[in-house]
Amino acid sequence: MSSVTSKSHHTYSFNDFTVDLDRRCLLRCGHEVKLRPKVFDALRYLVENNNRLVTKAELIAAVWSDSFVTDDSLVQCLVELRRALGDGAQEYIKTVPRRGYIFDAVVTGDSAAGDVFSIEQVEGVRVVIEEEDEERTRNDGQAQADTLVRPTVSRALWIRRSPARIGLAIALLLIGLTLGVLYFRGSDKSKQAAPGTKVSSIAVLPFKSVGGQERDEAWELGVPDALIARLNNIRQINIRPSSAVFRYAGQNVDPVQAARELNVDAVLDGSIQRQGERVRISVQLVNAAGETLWADIFDAKVTDFFTAQDSLSEQITRALTLHLTGREQETLAQRNTTSAEAYQLYLKGRYWWAKTTPEGVQKAIGYYNQAIANDQNYALAYTGLADGYSLQVSLNLVPPGEGLLKAKAAAEKAVQLDDNSASAHISLGHLRWLTWDWAEAEKAFLRVVELNPPYPAAHLWYANYLSSLGRHQEALAIVKTAQERNPISIAINECAEAVHFFARQYDETIAMGLKNLELEPNRAGSMYWIVLAYEQKGQYDEAVATNLKELLARGSKPEDIEALRAAYSASGWRGYWLKRIERAHEAGKHRYVSPIALAQMYTRAGNKERAFEFLEKAYTERASDLTLLKVNPIFDSLRSDSRYTGLMRRVGFSD
């Protein structure tokens, strides 16, 4: 029997949901949403403690008091709960990395105890934050500033209950007005970080378009992305990658909440206002305690925008009281191109490439080519072009032999133009690896290590390379370092999933994948590695269930999902893959289907001859996934065949 005990309410409501405690069910607009008992208990506990940090240990103790469970059970429970609430963007259940969860919604109850409930929740927020401050004091060895609490539940009730709280509310309002003044001060009077302010990690949030103008996502995301790339060259500070912050685009984000979700000391929050050829950039640097460390406004002509960005980088580093080396100052000052138009085209290319969609990558390649036409010596544009062609191959939009050769040529040109560009060498090493140029690939990766860019993602392709050669301990060491530096990066954690999988550490792969899905519940890439790990453990029910979710997340039609589910129910694992093969050949009539994918399907279905047929086709097409022949456990049943060892030699693996 669960230890979760309800308060005096019989129901709680938020948005169009109602939690009925008597019937133990969740209703949406009066219709029941099916929940397992433990999932309902977790929801009830979070709702009854909304706007308070509930630690993982506390939630486990509340829901599973009568049994011992691991974090994995909790993660799976929350995945189901978020799915039931349609909470893929974590609007209700917000994850506080390494700490727990906050249920963030205005909750109302059906009894007279509502006022007391609201007060309890606000008090609860205060207590938890004080505990966090005590922990920071223990860890840092110094007292931390008081944290501003911004409760969202029943503020009116909270203020109404006590005259003393009215004074506190007014004080909070005055602080907010003060921050507003700082936000709009001119660059000649910009607020600087206070002496002794410790900021070792930053996230640059997507900028917001203001002033009534239509949204321009290329600016909102492109400018912060370019700034992130530049600030990555500062070794004293850890910058969250674009992939970690782009999910906030178009949202009215609370900087304090974002800082906590991203596990950083401070966030740079900014807005862009354009009028004709003029652009105004307003920025503020806010720490996790809600203090504005620095604020400024930059005005520039659109045709000279990169000058404003140089100034912005310089001002931020000065505000953070960093002691830059001469090399870092030089890097920050680099413009990479003398053409403002080329720079703006590059920003648009970065924006569309980051969408990782067929339409996005096509537009990105177009913008990169336009940037190169404006400045044929623009190394970053060639790097972007290389990444664009490479993404086309990853999305199965073009055959590998066509896309990878173009990508490799663009990366080689980027390195030729700028041998000190870590991003160019990363792209080149990646592409040499995918085209089976093993020795030259490692040279490029070692050049990246020599340049030592501080952003962790820079080393991940090297980890993949090492993993494909069976050098698992080296690969695992790289991803471990990257995770320690940026524990909430989806891309880094996904790379870690892959490296653990090829090292045949399947339990670790599953655990890491489930934690990734906690951060982003519909992440198909994370599901992919979980499926493979379940398969190798012989847990076919779990593998199929997760694979169907993955296919749905990738855009498969519901009727196709049901057909596959029926095939597994009727004919088991082999029947499931026979149905997948049938669907793949049907899809191949309309688009490119990877021969490696078909070879894997036939191997699972036990048809070795057809598997080798498609492996040969993959070799003819120079398929990049052949780099995994040595370590991919899916092909274990083929390894004793001389055709497999011969194929490995042709791809470049030594005996």
Cα separation, 429 vs 433, in Å, equals 6
Mind giving me the DSSP string for 115-154? HHHHHHHHHHHHHHHHHHHHHHHHHHSS--PPPPP---S-
Mind giving me the DSSP string for 339-366? -HHHHHHHHHHHHHHHT-SHHHHHHHHH
What percent of the chain is modeled with pLDDT above 90? 34
Residues 131 and 21 placed together within one structural domain of the fold: yes
Interval 204-224 mean pLDDT: 76
Buried/exposed code over 232-245 (b: 16+ C-beta within 10 A; e: otherwise): bbbeebbbbbbbbb
Higher pLDDT, 342 or 546: 546
Residue listed under structure tokens 């960005």: 309
Q: Looking at the predicted structure, is the pLDDT value of residue 134 above 60?
A: no
Backbone angles phi, psi at 322, to 5 degrees: -85, 150
Q: Three-state DSSP class for 198? A: coil
Q: Which residue range(s) make up the domain with 253?
A: 182-307
> In whole angstroms, what separates CA 612 from the centre of its chain?
36
Cα separation, 526 vs 509, in Å, equals 9
What is the reported pLDDT for 351? Answer: 78
What is the reported pLDDT for 177? Answer: 28
Q: Three-state DSSP class for 377? A: coil
In a domain, 559, yes or no: no
Interval 46-63 mean pLDDT: 85
State pTM to two decimals.
Answer: 0.61
Q: Three-state DSSP class for 507? A: helix
What is the reported pLDDT for 354? Answer: 76
Residues 187 and 283 placed together within one structural domain of the fold: yes
Cα separation, 547 vs 551, in Å, equals 6
Cα separation, 389 vs 220, in Å, equals 24
Q: Looking at the predicted structure, is the pLDDT value of residue 496 above 80?
A: yes
Residues 131 and 188 placed together within one structural domain of the fold: no
Q: Looking at the predicted structure, is the pLDDT value of residue 24 above 50?
A: yes
Cα separation, 375 vs 341, in Å, equals 9
Q: Which of 74-78, 155-159, 630-634 is least confident? A: 155-159
Mind giving me the DSSP string for 274-332? EETTEEEEEEEEEETTS-EEEEEEEEEEGGGHHHHHHHHHHHHHHHTT----HHHHHHH
Residues 186 and 237 placed together within one structural domain of the fold: yes
User: Crossing angle, helix 56-63 and helix 37-48, to 10 degrees?
Assistant: 130
Residues 16 and 124 placed together within one structural domain of the fold: yes
Backbone angles phi, psi at 109, to 5 degrees: -120, 175
In a domain, 494, yes or no: no
In this prediction, residue 251 has a pLDDT band, given cuts at 50, 70 and 90, of confident
Last residue of a domain, one of 275, 307, 339: 307
Last residue of a domain, one of 290, 307, 324: 307
> In whole angstroms, what separates CA 435 from the centre of its chain?
28
pLDDT in tens, 438-491: 999 999 999 988 887 766 667 788 999 999 999 999 999 999 988 887 777 788
Residues 191 and 134 placed together within one structural domain of the fold: no
Residue 152 and residue 104 in contact, taking contact as beta carbons nearer than 8 Å: yes
In a domain, 549, yes or no: no
Residues 103 and 190 placed together within one structural domain of the fold: no
- What count of Cα atoms within 13 Å lies in the side-chain half-sphere of residue 399? 10
Residues 133 and 29 placed together within one structural domain of the fold: yes
Give CA angle at 156 (150, 158), nearest 5°: 70
Cα separation, 384 vs 109, in Å, equals 53
In a domain, 525, yes or no: no
Q: Looking at the predicted structure, is the pLDDT value of residue 168 above 70?
A: no
Residues 52 and 136 placed together within one structural domain of the fold: yes
Last residue of a domain, one of 140, 174, 196: 140
pLDDT in tens, 445-457: 999 888 877 666 6
Backbone angles phi, psi at 208, to 5 degrees: -110, 140
Largest CA distance in the chain: 84
> In whole angstroms, what separates CA 387 from the centre of its chain?
18
Q: Which of 201-210, 405-414, 556-565, 635-644 is least confident? A: 201-210
In a domain, 28, yes or no: yes
In a domain, 45, yes or no: yes
Which tokens is 232 given? 């990555």
The candidate with the shortest Cα–Cα distance to 90, out of 552, 519, 486, 526, is 519
Which tokens is 546 given? 């997760």
136-144 contacts: CB < 8 A, separation 24 or more?
A: 140/198, 144/289
Which tokens is 123 given? 């008090």
Q: Three-state DSSP class for 239? A: strand
Cα separation, 260 vs 287, in Å, equals 9
Residues 33 and 129 placed together within one structural domain of the fold: yes
Residues 133 and 186 placed together within one structural domain of the fold: no
> In whole angstroms, what separates CA 566 from the centre of its chain?
33
In a domain, 410, yes or no: no
What is the chain's Cα-based Rg?
27
Tell me what the pLDDT averaged over the chain comes to.
Answer: 78
Q: Looking at the predicted structure, is the pLDDT value of residue 505 above 70?
A: yes
Q: Looking at the predicted structure, is the pLDDT value of residue 115 above 50?
A: no
Which tokens is 175 given? 């602080």
Residues 100 and 206 placed together within one structural domain of the fold: no
What percent of the chain is modeled with pLDDT above 70? 75
What is the reported pLDDT for 173? Answer: 29
Beta pairing, strands 278-287 & 266-275: antiparallel
Interval 193-197 mean pLDDT: 49
Tell me, what CATH number does 19's domain have? 1.10.10.10
In a domain, 193, yes or no: yes
Q: Give the count of domains, the chain.
A: 2
Tell me, what CATH number does 278's domain have? 3.40.50.10610
